[in-house]
Amino acid sequence: MNRNKFSSLFQDTMGVSFSKFALRYRLNSASRALRQTRDTIETIAFEWGFNDISHFNKVFVNHYGITPGEYRNKE
């Protein structure tokens, strides 16, 4: 199956694009790590595939409405 066919089938089945699904999964996993570990935010970001901490912060705020540090302190 080619990439376009997969993307189309995934979108039709899940109601969201594969890239958005994957991003949500990575953010949910990172947020769980923020709650359950003492790892630095940078370590968690890199662990979940965010190679740029500023990008991680931006997408985290877009998704959760608060920074990773605020999220950790809130929990």
For residue 25, give every residue at least 6 positions away whose Cβ sits within 8 Å of its Cβ, in sequence order, or none. none
**Which residue ranges form the domains of the chain, and what is each CATH number?**
17-74 (1.10.10.60)
Mean per-residue pLDDT over the chain, rounded: 96
Return the number of other C-beta atoms located less than 10 Å from residue 24's C-beta. Answer: 13
Residue 35's closest CA among 64, 59, 8, 5? 64
What pLDDT shows up at residue 75? Answer: 64
What pLDDT shows up at residue 26? Answer: 98
pTM for this prediction: 0.87
Identify the segments of the chain with pLDDT beneath 50. none
Structure tokens at 27: 């953010």
Return the number of other C-beta atoms located less than 10 Å from residue 2's C-beta. Answer: 7
